[in-house]
Amino acid sequence: NTRADSVLFDRLDISSRAVQGHSLGGGGSQLAALQDPTLKCSIAICPDDGRVFGRKAPEALSPSVPVLILCAEKDSEAPPKKFAWPDYHKTGGTKLIFEVKGGSHSFANGPSGDGRESDMMKGAFDLAVMCNCLSSLLSCGACAPCPCACGVMNGSSGNARANAPRGVVGD
C-alpha cells in the first residue's frame, strides 16, 4: 500500500481492517480482536483455541470488536459445542453465530456447504492445493476454472463437485 511499484499503492484503507481465519486461524482471529480493538470485525470459521497444543484459552473474548462465528454441526476436528459455542458465550461485544447443519470442518471450502477434506484427497493432494492457490492468484479471488487437470478443485472457491448446488450452505 505504501510502495509506489505495488498494485495496491494508495488503494487500501488501512483504517478499516478485519481479520478472518479457519480452524486454528479462527481462534487466532479472535485473539487478534482481543489485542487490537481498532479492528472492524473478526470472522472465525470453525474456530479452535489451540488447547490440543497445550495453549490455555482466554477467559473472555473481545468486548468491543464485532465477531461472526461460523461453525459446522458435524465438525469432528473443532466440535462446535467444545469451541464455537463457548467462544460465542465468552465474547462480550456484538456477536453472531451460524452453525451449518450437516457441515464438516471443511464446509467453507466450497460453495456447496459440505466441502470435505476427503474430496480433496481423491486426486493428488499437493497438485490440488497448488492448483487452488494458483487459480486464486490468477483470478484475484473470483471463481475461475482450475487451470490444471487435477479434477479435484473447482477454482478459488474450493473443492466443490460439478453437481453441487451453487450458493447453498448446508441443507
* Strand ranges in 39-160 using DSSP code E only, listed in sequence order: 41-45, 67-72, 95-100
The answer to whether residue 105 is catalytic is yes
The cell numbers describing 73, all together, are 454441526
Sign of CA dihedral 168, 27, 74, 97: negative
Catalytic annotation, pick one of 48, 49, 75, 114:
75
Point out the catalytic residue in the list 22, 23, 119, 135.
23
Amino acid at residue number 23: S
Residues 149/150/155/161 CA torsion (nearest 10 deg): 110
Helix residue spans in the chain (DSSP H): 24-35, 84-90, 117-121, 125-139
Among candidate residues 48, 105, 112, 136, the one labeled active-site is: 105
> Residues with catalytic annotation?
23, 75, 105
